Structure formats: C-alpha cells, structure tokens
Structure 1
Amino acid sequence: MGDSSAQFAALKQAADPAVAAAIERLVAEGDDRDLNRINVLEFSARRELDEERVISGFLQASRLGIFDLSWNVLCPGCGGVLDAHNTLKSLRPDEYHCGLCASDYEASVDKQVEVAFTVAPRVRRIAAHDPGTLPIWEYFRQMFWSSGVDFNEQGFASLTGEVTLDAIELPTGRSVMRTLQLPPQFIIVFEPVTHAAQFIDVQGEPTDEIQQLSLVYHKLAQPTETITLRPGPLQLSLDNRADSRVLPSVFIAADALHHLLGQRKPFLTAKRMLSNQTFRDVFKADNLTIDQRLKITSLSFLFTDLKGSTALYERVGDLAAFDLVRAHFRALLEIISSEKGAVVKTIGDAVMATFVTPEQALAAGLRMRAAMDALNAERGTADLVVKIGIHEGPCLAVMLNERQDYFGQTVNIASRVQGLATSQAIHITGTVIAAPAVAAMLRHAGITPIQKQAALRGIADKVVVYEIP
C-alpha cells in the first residue's frame, strides 16, 4: 500500500467521518477481490452506514485519487459487463452485444449501467489491475460479471463444478485440443475476454463416434452461432489468434446456470448517480459530451417557484427580501439532498430537481412546504409561499449550457404542473400518484388528494393532476 496518508486525511475532511474511516480500513485490510469494482450499496449495508453518505464518501475518495470510478454496461440477462468506461462520456449510442446471451442491448442508464469503484494502483496494487494474470474463475468473478451478481462461495462452487464441462487458459498464439463427453443438454462455449460464444444444441441418439468442432479466437468477437451435435464424444479444437490470452469455458446451459446468474443484489446505477448532488458538484466536467443523449426510462422531476417574489421585494425591501429568498434556497437545497435528490439548476427564485423515485420527490415536496411554514413562523410573516409541481416519466440526459440537464416532455409537464399552483400547494400527476409508495405515504399522512383536469401550456390534451392540500 502506497503512502496515501495525505489523501485519507483530506477524505476525513470532505466525507462523513464514519464513512471515511470505513473506506480507509477497506483499503488497508480488504482482500484484493474486495477492492475491485466495489458495490457501494453492499458496502453500506454490511457496515450499517447511510447509503447517501457512503456514495458521497466514495465520490470524494475518487476525486482525491483513492479510487478509480468506472461506468460498466451490463447485460440484463446474465449480469455480464459488456463494456467498461472510465467516464460516462465514452458510453456508446449504439447497441452492446452479449455473446453469452446472444442478445443486443441499448445501454439504459436506469438499470444497465452500474457505477463501481476500484482502488487506484498508486494507492494499493491489486490483482485486478493486471487482469491477464487472474485465474480463470477470478477473471469471471472480478472482470466479466458485475457487482450486481450475487456470488456466494457455495454458488460459485456450483459454477466451477456442476455446470462446467471444461475451462481452459489459452495464451496468445497457442492452440489446444480437448476431448469432452457431450450430455443431451444445451451447451455454450463462452470466452469472457473477447466475449465470443458458440452454442451447441446436443440432441438425438447418442453416438460413439468422435465429433469435431474448431473455434478460432480473434481480437473482435464473431457473431454467436448454433450448431447441432449428438450426445457423445466431442473433439474440441481451440486456436487463439487474439492479442491476449483467452479463457474458453464450456457451460451446460441448464437450470443450475440460470439460477446462479439470476441471483442479483442492488447496485449503484448511472441514473442514481446522475441524481446525486455530490456527483453533480464534484464531477461537473465528467458528465456527458455536448452530443450525447442518454435515454432514461423513468425519472422524477420536482419544480418549485417562489410566489410573488417581485411583490415581496417591493413590500419588504431588497435587503430583507434577499435574506428571505436566500433562507428559502438553503432550506430547499438541504431537503433535496437529504431526500436523495439533486439540484439540476436554479432559475431566478425557482428550483429544478431530480429524484430516482416519485416517493422521494413527494417526501421532499412535503418537507419543503413545512419548512416554508417554519421560516414564516420564525419571522412572523407569511411571505414565503412556494409552489411545487412533481411529474415522473421518461426523458433524455443531455448537456446544456455546460451543465448536465434533462430534456423531453416529462420535463415540460413537470414545469407546467408547478405553474398551476396559486398558493403553497403541491401538484402531482397521475404517474406520481400511481406509485404504490406515494399512495402509502399519502394514506399515512392522512392526505386526500384533490383530482382535477388541467390545460397545460404547450400540451395538446388536458391532463389529470392531483392537488396535495
């Protein structure tokens, strides 16, 4: 472990002390495997630390050079890492192919891009910094599969035993011939470095004759193909013409393999990261390029505006009004952050914020309203009246005016819904109230929403909205 005392001292100043101490212990005492593609949600749960503080702590540690942050495109079928990027700017707009599943996927930042952290080599060198030296199964575990695949030791033992017919380490420029006994099952010869795959549908009458199959590995993976063979002996010829070693492995694609790969655990998604305030503050230049358009299938938007702010300045004077408005902003921004949201921008006296879920947005809205009541009571006035609108739906993450922003009809509707309020009220849309957690929150608070139809500027049809009194 390198001399990183100055970095950890700085981390203790920037992050929650308990989180900083836990990170320092991990780097000093953790196994190599524990320091590669760290799942920060699992890290938080095991140590009973607040998730948002842990995410913030790892982001600060990355800023200080303790960790390298990676954005990994995942296969939703098998949980494999189809590509790894050190910046979101490198995310490709085209489809990613999974050879193991023989499927193409678009990199949705909702669930198919994970954010993971690996200790920086200058802080501590681990085996995964040289993946070409990892044993076969450690390569699968640490490099091919993501931090969201739940491999306990018993389950991983079943992969290496129960569902694997053979696994070979083949150096570049070398070839090998293996003889296998094919069972009457569907077989996959998968290579995790080049992601090449060959499917074998083993069916029909068993045979004693030796069947032949030759596979050649190149730098670029070839399209996945399926051949039909009979149960019995197979002479498998493997030739590595790639520029690195390959690790062809022969799997039985039966229930045991599907069960193993179906064991998942939560992981930090790119969508959640984009709605994290620390990330937006610390990595402003690392978000997107000016030409990128990342699709998000579901994001919750909260817009606020301070009612009658112009009249407020005229009524109480510039200095007093400025102090009031600043106090209002402080309260709103603290609430947004504590409810796991992020401020996209402020426009005059208005705020635009995002949340991963509708219930987080509504919780923030209810707290904002209560906070304005408290500020008014503290000052003996009724000057701070905040109008709030919330909507949830698909959108595009984009770069606008050198800032990571959002674009689409969902954003437009959320802004227009906020404009419906004429008092310190919250207006939400049908997609928000339909969320089970939102309905439960309203029932628990004893709030009965008032349904109404509204014409929104720029929206062709009237929409159903709900006032939260």
Structure 2
Amino acid sequence: MSDIQAQFSVLKQTADAKVVDAIARLIDDGEDHELNRVNVLDFSREHGLDEERAISGFLHSARLGLFDLGWNVLCPGCGGVLGAHSTLKALKPDDYHCALCACGYKASVDDQVEVSFTVNPRVRRIAAHDPDTLPVWDYFRQVFWSSGVDFNKESFATLANEVTLDTMELPAGEKATMSLQLPNDFIIIFEPVTHAAHFIDVQGEPTKDRQQLAIMYNRVQAPTGTTTMRPGPLRLSLENQAGVRVLPSVFIAAEALHHLIGKRKPFLTAKRMLSNQTFRDVFKADNLSLDQRLQITSLTFLFTDLKGSTALYERVGDLAAFDLVRAHFHALLEIISSEKGAVVKTIGDAVMATFVRPEHAIVAGLRMRAAMDELNKKRGTDDLIVKIGIHEGPCLAVMLNERQDYFGQTVNIAARVQSLSTAQEIHITGPVLDAPAVAEVLKQHEIRPIQKQAALRGIADKMVVYEIR
C-alpha cells in the first residue's frame, strides 16, 4: 500500500465518506488550479456536501499531509492576497499594505483572513508549487487574487483584452520597455510579485510627444506614487532588481476593472475556523502564539451551567451523578458541533462555546433545552436543568493556559447573562435578539422573549436582557 493510500485509509475513519470520495476525485482528476487554495465553501456547494463536514474533511486531510493549510491576509478592496502564511501564528500584528488600492489594513480575522487548502507536492505536484513559472494571468488568478474573488474564464478574458493595456514577464536582473498609448483614463501599473504599484493620472489635452516614465522593482515596499501625464504615447522603462521574475501589468482603472474584482463569493474565514470544533481538536499546535492578540469585531458566545449539580451528587450518589453529567456533556457538545459552533472549554459542569452567527447559538440553546428534557424523561426525573446565556460582540482571540481562548467584556457579559437563569430559561442580550435570522428562529418556534432589566456582577450599568422560556 502506498503512503497516499494509507493516508486515505486513515482519512476514511475520521471524515465523512462522501467528502473523502470528493477529495480523492479532486486529487486524481482535478485541474492544477483547482488544487491550489481550495475554497472549501465553494467545493462543498459544487459537490452537494455539508459545509461543516467538508471543512472537517479537509482539516483531517491537512493533518494527514494530503493538503497544506494556508492563512491568507486579504485586501478588502481588491481581494488580493497581501500575506500568505502557513500557520495562524505567522499573522503580523502590524498593517498589511495593498499597493493596488494604496491602503493599509489590520489582519481582521472576521473577513480579511482566508483559510484555504493546497495539495501537498508529495501527493501531487501542480503548477502553483512553482509560482515563478506561472503565466501572467495564471499568477494573478492563483497567487495574487484570493479564492473569494468570483472570477471565471470570461472575467479573465475581459481583464486581459479590455482592461489591460500591456503586461510582460521580466526576468530577474533584466531591463525592458513598454510602448503605450495612454487613454484619457486613470492608469495603474501594478506588479503582483513584489506588490508594487504606480498610478498615472492621465488628464489634459492629448499630445503626440513621447512621454517617459522609469520604474525599478526591488524588495523594498515603497509607497504607491502618482504621476500626472497627458493622453498620448508613453515609453515605460522597467528594471528588475527584485531577484525574482516580476510581472508588470498596466491596467485601466475604470468601471470595468472595479466590476471584475468587485464580484465576491463566500470563503472560509479565520473567524469561522477558530469556531470549528475539528480545528480546535486537531490543530492545537497551529493556533495562536502566546503574545498574539487577534481582534474579532463580532462573535457569539454561549455559556451553560448545570443547576444544582452539588445537590445532585448528594441526592443520587457520585456514580449515578457522574453518568448523568457525562450524558449531559455528550448531548451539549454534539449539539454545539452540529450547529457550527465550537467548545472553548468546560469548567466543572459549565460549557463555554462560540458561534460565528447568533442564530446558530439560539438554535443550539433550544436544542440543548430539548435534549435535557429528553434525558430527564428517560430517567423519570427532573435532575438535569441547564442554564443558558448568549451574548454577541467584539473580543480578542488569545492563548490562555496553552489553549486558544477569548478575552474581553463580551465574554464577561455572556457568562453573567447565563447566571441569571434559575431554571431552563435561556437569557439573551439585545445584539443577539436584533439579528434578523434570530427573529426568524424565534418566530418559527412561536417564542416571545420577555424583556427585563438586569444587574450583572462586574458590569457598572444595568442591561436589558431577554428571557426565553
């Protein structure tokens, strides 16, 4: 049995069978570009797979060495990859700069860090493993732009034929010239390998005199400059001192270009990955470093606690109580995972979990309550009563006690809201209730939240919370 066959044999034991079959077909029959920076959400949609099972399948594939996991920092303006990293630890705390958009950005894990999968070269070698050999447009498509930019063959035909005045491959150490006819448009000379750009503001009366512009490429990331020129002939002199091949391309920065790169599709974000149970279980070593503080603008926290667990141990005895608590944990953890959430930690009989969207947390909370009712019914008692609190807001992703955790007032409020419950009520906050999808969930279950003011320990002002009975 080959190493790859052995890896797939193990994968079949840990991942969904349909996902494994789809991954095997991709590796065997997929085109090279389809195996580079795989957009798992796209992949699951095209193959009719459950997104969470597809994500889990690719994560297990990466653990086994079939794929390499990538964390790509994206420009929110053009969708370009500003930094490609093999681990989450490699994300820089300082700004990433996009020369094409002439802007700097922090690496927000909410929607600016893409998680993708590229086939390992030992499994199958593809053209993107040697990016310096890729033709210009393949380099743009597979290396510079992310999997979230919705390109197709027609898009690139338009980009090449209608939006681009010229492009070239310039080997390391060489010089070349472009002879261009500048239209009365804003022009961008962009080089994707070194992420360098120069703007030409074309204005005024046309001229027949040849204008001159010289650009040198190196490894120094200089600010994007702007030169004013008139419509007419331009001699563009290019010199490559970057030590690698460069791909200078001259774009017309008009509506057509903005339309092409403005079309987006969903992709797997770092925020969603951090709230994925498989990732938390399998890739503990590929998590944050001790000194990292990743800001998340919006994350939903769900806290649970088992009411009266001390009295339960006294009432039914240690052995019976342990079995009950274990059954309660098993039900809760299964529900959290199936509703696109992840367990951050358990503390005694309590659970802290995260969800990317508040509606998933609400559905999980309702299912938890029903699951406890079912367990109680089987035993003919009311021993298992779970208190639940849900809150949504900004936070920091950090490392605490050798595991990825969260810090901030949002976490504190979520924990305090849970403590308001005295029976199997669910308490939620205004930001959770205000989410349109949450209102739809409550409507479907014919639930009318009860508004009340609550004083939360450690929180200065009283808060408006909502009780779901």
Q: Do they superpose with TM above 0.5?
A: yes
What's the CA shift for 1:53?
0.2
TM-score, L = length of structure 1: 0.99
1:451-462 → structure 2 map (5 Å cutoff): 451-462=451-462
1:118-137 → structure 2 map (5 Å cutoff): 118-137=118-137
Counterpart position of 1:373? 373
Establish whether residue 70 from structure 1 lines up as the match of residue 74 from structure 2: no
Q: Give distance in 1, aligned partners of 2:218 and 2:319.
A: 70
Establish whether residue 322 from structure 1 lines up as the match of residue 322 from structure 2: yes
What's the CA shift for 1:45?
0.1
Q: Give distance in 2, aligned partners of 1:240 and 1:184.
A: 28
What's the CA shift for 1:220?
2.3
Secondary structure of the corresponding residue to residue 222 of structure 1: coil
Amino acid at match of 2:74: L
Between 8-17 and 161-170, report the one with greater CA deviation. Answer: 8-17
Secondary structure of the corresponding residue to residue 458 of structure 1: coil
The number of residues matched between the two structures is: 468
1:203-352 → structure 2 map (5 Å cutoff): 203-352=203-352
Amino acid at match of 1:338: S
Q: Give distance in 2, aligned partners of 1:322 and 1:396.
A: 34
Counterpart position of 2:173? 173
Q: Give distance in 2, aligned partners of 1:153 and 1:286.
A: 35
Amino acid at match of 2:38: I
What's the CA shift for 1:3?
5.2
Establish whether residue 81 from structure 1 lines up as the match of residue 81 from structure 2: yes
Counterpart position of 1:57? 57
CA distances 1:254-290 after superposition (whole Å, capped 9, x unpaired): 0000000011110000000000000000001111000
Structure 1 contact 196–222 (Cα < 8 Å) conserved: yes
CA distances 1:37-59 after superposition (whole Å, capped 9, x unpaired): 00000000000000000000000
Q: Give distance in 2, aligned partners of 1:142 and 1:3.
A: 28
Counterpart position of 1:4? 4
Q: Give distance in 2, aligned partners of 1:11 and 1:320.
A: 36
What's the CA shift for 1:221?
2.4
Q: Give distance in 1, aligned partners of 2:237 and 2:75.
A: 28
Secondary structure of the corresponding residue to residue 41 of structure 1: helix
Q: Give distance in 1, aligned partners of 2:380 and 2:319.
A: 17
CA distances 1:93-146 after superposition (whole Å, capped 9, x unpaired): 000000000000000000000000000000000000000000000000000000
Q: Give distance in 2, aligned partners of 1:127 and 1:286.
A: 26
Amino acid at match of 1:178: M
CA distances 1:182-201 after superposition (whole Å, capped 9, x unpaired): 00000000000000000000
Secondary structure of the corresponding residue to residue 406 of structure 2: strand
Q: Give distance in 2, aligned partners of 1:317 and 1:464.
A: 39
- Structure 1 residue runs without a partner (length 5+): none
Amino acid at match of 2:357: T
Structure 1 contact 3–123 (Cα < 8 Å) conserved: no
Q: Give distance in 1, aligned partners of 2:5 and 2:48.
A: 25
What's the CA shift for 1:296?
0.3
Amino acid at match of 2:410: T
Q: Give distance in 2, aligned partners of 1:67 and 1:468.
A: 44
CA distances 1:321-360 after superposition (whole Å, capped 9, x unpaired): 1110000000000000000000000000000000000000
What's the CA shift for 1:152?
1.1
Q: Give distance in 1, aligned partners of 2:429 and 2:337.
A: 22
Q: Give distance in 2, aligned partners of 1:375 and 1:220.
A: 64
Amino acid at match of 2:327: A
CA distances 1:350-383 after superposition (whole Å, capped 9, x unpaired): 0000000000000000000000000000000000
Counterpart position of 2:97? 97
Q: Give distance in 2, aligned partners of 1:3 and 1:378.
A: 47
Q: Give distance in 2, aligned partners of 1:403 and 1:4.
A: 31
1:414-429 → structure 2 map (5 Å cutoff): 414-429=414-429
What's the CA shift for 1:66?
0.1
Counterpart position of 1:37? 37
Q: Give distance in 2, aligned partners of 1:117 and 1:105.
A: 24
What's the CA shift for 1:14?
1.2
Secondary structure of the corresponding residue to residue 190 of structure 1: strand
Secondary structure of the corresponding residue to residue 199 of structure 1: strand
Q: Give distance in 1, aligned partners of 2:178 and 2:250.
A: 11
Structure 1 contact 69–116 (Cα < 8 Å) conserved: yes
Q: Give distance in 1, aligned partners of 2:107 and 2:259.
A: 24
Q: Give distance in 2, aligned partners of 1:242 and 1:157.
A: 29
* RMSD between superposed Cα atoms in Å: 0.6
Counterpart position of 1:392? 392
Secondary structure of the corresponding residue to residue 381 of structure 2: coil
TM-score, L = length of structure 2: 0.99
Counterpart position of 1:151? 151
Secondary structure of the corresponding residue to residue 161 of structure 1: helix
Counterpart position of 1:15? 15
- Structure 2 residue runs without a partner (length 5+): none
Q: Give distance in 2, aligned partners of 1:220 and 1:307.
A: 60
Q: Give distance in 2, aligned partners of 1:178 and 1:226.
A: 18
Structure 1 contact 165–180 (Cα < 8 Å) conserved: yes
Q: Give distance in 1, aligned partners of 2:144 and 2:220.
A: 16
Amino acid at match of 1:76: P
1:112-123 → structure 2 map (5 Å cutoff): 112-123=112-123
Secondary structure of the corresponding residue to residue 148 of structure 2: coil
Q: Give distance in 2, aligned partners of 1:264 and 1:221.
A: 27
CA distances 1:388-447 after superposition (whole Å, capped 9, x unpaired): 000000000000000000000000000000000011110000000000000111111110
Amino acid at match of 2:442: L
Secondary structure of the corresponding residue to residue 250 of structure 1: strand
